Amino acid sequence: MIYLLGMSHAISVLRALTPDSGISHQAWAGHSAAPGFTPVDAPGLPGLRQHLIPPNSGWRAVIQMNNGQRTVAASPGYVELLDHIESGAARLISFLGGNEHSSVSLLADARPCDFVWPRGSGAPLREGFQPLPVAVIEAQLLGLLQQTLAQLMMIRIRHPQLAITHVLPPPPHANEDRMRAWPEVFGQLLATQGITPLDIRMKYYGLYCELLRAQLAPLGISCLDAPAAACDARGALRDEYTLGCTHGNEAYGALVAEQLRTLN
């Protein structure tokens, strides 16, 4: 049995695997949050079962803030969902989270900043952008990653022997006109505030992926990179694979599905 658990970034893959399923980004919000996995008849992925966590389900709130107090309060629904994963399952494929980096890097900031990412292109930092220590950006991203990491850690704790692969989200889009045409939740802000230059968004994405790999490796959770064929020379997502301003489309999903079929 292979379990696929995710959110919006899982949709393009599921659409590629089951074009007639009716799954879409538009229908995602109305998806049922009932605990359980739905069988998917996907060639090359026998025994695949999926669960899409809809937005605002509350299942992400592993940790909550109540009157300034931090409380560990995993959603009972999410805990129950983990009970639906059979012991002896072959693998769990995670598409949890994925837009954390976009939420802080996509919109142009009134106080724009830049940073040196040692694994980056080495291009000079942007003139007029305040250079920040990379540790400041790491702190920003790690803060946003806590829910995803907590959710994955819960899976690991509940299923210590399960092979878990976390699929990294697609890289940033390069074509700003296409991004503005479907701004997703950014709405008008994309037009009024503008878009952060691609080179900075790429660094945010690279650092985000690096942090995820580093945080998940000790948990025995591997990460699956975005398919190289979908990326241009800068590492950005090619136009023909984009959806909205942060997601991959069905063609992108097909490339990811092909990667999933070859997982050991």
Partner 1 sequence: MHPYQQQPDRAFWRRAVSDTAWRDIDLVGTPKFRLARDASVATAGSCFAQHITRHMRKRGLQPFVAEQAHPLQLAAGRDVKDYDSFSARYGNVYSSRQMVELLEQALGERPPIDDYVEQDGRVYDLLRPNAVADGFDNLAHARADRRYHLGRVRHMLQACDVFVFTLGLTETWFHAEAGHTYPVCPGTAKGDWDPALHKFRNLTHADVLADLRRLRALQLQANPAGRLILTVSPVPLVATHAGQHVLLASSHSKATLRSACGEFVPEDDGVLYFPSFEIVSHVASFGQYLQGDLREVTERGVSHVMGCFFDALYGEAAAPGAAPAPEAVAPAAAPAIDVARLLNAECEELFNDVAAPRR
In order of 57, 67, 69, 116, 170, the CA distances from 196 in angstroms are 30, 34, 34, 16, 17
Stretch that binds partner 1, among 17-25, 35-43, 141-149, 247-255 (CB under 8 A): 141-149
Using CB under 8 A as the binding rule, whether residue 75 contacts partner 1 is answered as no
Instruction: Report yes or no: 183 and 252 within 8 Å, Cβ to Cβ.
Output: no
- Which of 114, 167, 198, 245 lies at the binding interface for partner 1 (CB under 8 A)? 114
Q: Exposed, middle or buried: residue 18 (CB in 10 Å: 0-12, 13-18, 19+)?
A: middle
Of the pair 45, 141, the CB lying nearest partner 1 is at 141
Number of residues counted as binding partner 1 (CB under 8 A) = 56
Using CB under 8 A as the binding rule, whether residue 64 contacts partner 1 is answered as yes
Using CB under 8 A as the binding rule, whether residue 170 contacts partner 1 is answered as no
Nearest to 53 by CA among 17, 78, 72, 73: 78
Of the pair 45, 96, the CB lying nearest partner 1 is at 96
**Strand-pair category, 91-95 with 113-115:** unpaired
Of the pair 136, 229, the CB lying nearest partner 1 is at 136
**Strand-pair category, 38-39 with 48-52:** antiparallel
Using CB under 8 A as the binding rule, whether residue 127 contacts partner 1 is answered as yes
**Strand-pair category, 113-115 with 130-132:** parallel
Instruction: Specify the DSSP class assigned to residue 107.
Output: B
Of the pair 89, 129, the CB lying nearest partner 1 is at 129
Task: List interacting residues with partner 1 (CB under 8 A).
Answer: 7-8, 54-57, 60-61, 63-65, 97-100, 102-107, 109-111, 113-116, 118, 122, 124-125, 127-140, 142-144, 146-147, 185-187, 189, 193
